């Protein structure tokens, strides 16, 4: 009876040990803080190694493969089975391809920042904050289409109104160069974001993105909602 009384007194004063269940709940609430890996991880995409590597390597391979299987050099034939000979040569990668790709990316980002938009708050995060988002994706898409059509339009009014296919054909003619630029840029950008997620222990990590498996965390995205100011990266 004396032992029971002392335990009750300790619990009432807050000096006793917390029950095991409540201690586990308290620790688990900090699982979104950088550096605290969860005890149990359910990997997605056949992770943590084979799936992420397969997707990171496989998707670019598919894009290059589609060009190899069918293009202006010819297409794969089943009867008789024949694979066309592809000679990419100097067209595999070029400085011009990088300029065009980056110009497109920064152009779309600029439209997102300057065009009118409504503002919406996202869901509550683990730190209690809600991020604000600019909602103008449809307007950016429509503006992009109008700009493309304006650049390639043939306004020989009233004799002719049409499109100059030669400008739109640039993507077709420089397809491999643009693919190479996109693969290199996105890979470098992803590596930079992954390394930046270690800049502080207060970085809010994505659920499932801080497992301790570097390949899997890189693939999923370690930091939750990385952004510069109000611009999402």
CA dist 146 → 74, 113, 143, 152, 221 (Å): 33, 18, 5, 10, 34
Longest dimension (CA), the chain: 105
The pLDDT value recorded for residue 18 is 44
Q: Which run of H or E residues covers position 232?
A: strand 231-232
114 occurs within a structural domain: yes
Q: Identify the pLDDT of residue 3.
A: 42
pLDDT tens-place string over residues 171-208: 888 889 999 999 999 999 999 999 999 998 888 898 88
Q: Is residue 136 part of a domain?
A: yes
Q: What is the pLDDT of residues 81-104, one digit of tens each?
A: 888 877 665 678 899 999 999 999
- Residue 88 belongs to a domain: no
Residue 33: inside a domain? no
Q: Is residue 14 part of a domain?
A: no
Q: How far apart are CA 207 and CA 220, in angstroms?
A: 9
What is the structure's pLDDT at 45? 85
Q: Has residue 15 got a pLDDT over 50?
A: no
40-61 pLDDT, tens per residue?
778 888 878 999 999 999 999 9
Q: Is residue 226 part of a domain?
A: no
d(CA 175, CA 93): 10
2 vs 223, more confident:
223
Instruction: Report the domain count for the chain.
Output: 1
| Residues 6 or more apart whose Cβ sits within 8 Å of residue 164 | 152, 153, 154
Phi, psi of 228 (to 5 degrees): -110, 110
**Which residue segment(s) compose the domain that 167 sits in?**
95-173
> Does the CA dihedral 51-220-214-125 come out positive or negative?
negative
> Has residue 123 been placed in a domain?
yes
- Asked, for residue 109, whether it belongs to a domain, the answer is yes
């Amino acid at each position: 009876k004396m032992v029971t009384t002392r335990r009750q007194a300790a619990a009432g004063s807050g000096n006793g040990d917390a029950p095991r269940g409540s201690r586990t709940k308290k620790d688990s609430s900090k699982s979104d803080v950088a550096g605290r890996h969860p005890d149990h991880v359910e990997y997605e995409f056949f992770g943590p190694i084979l799936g992420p590597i397969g997707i990171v390597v496989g998707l670019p391979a598919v894009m290059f493969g589609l060009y190899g299987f069918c293009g202006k050099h010819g297409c794969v034939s089943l009867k008789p089975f024949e694979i066309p000979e592809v000679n990419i040569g100097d067209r595999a990668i070029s400085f011009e391809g990088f300029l065009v790709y980056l110009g497109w990316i920064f152009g779309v980002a600029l439209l997102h920042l300057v065009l009118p938009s409504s503002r919406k708050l996202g869901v509550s995060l683990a730190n209690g904050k809600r991020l604000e988002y600019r909602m103008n994706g449809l307007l950016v898409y429509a503006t992009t289409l109008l700009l493309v059509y304006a650049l390639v339009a043939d306004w020989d009014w009233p004799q002719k109104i049409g499109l100059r296919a030669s400008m739109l054909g640039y993507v077709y003619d420089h397809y491999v160069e643009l693919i190479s630029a996109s693969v290199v840029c996105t890979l470098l950008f992803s590596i930079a974001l992954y390394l930046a997620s270690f800049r502080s222990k207060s970085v809010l990590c994505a659920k499932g993105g801080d497992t301790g498996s570097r390949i899997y965390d890189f693939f999923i995205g370690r930091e939750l909602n990385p952004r510069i100011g109000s611009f999402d990266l």
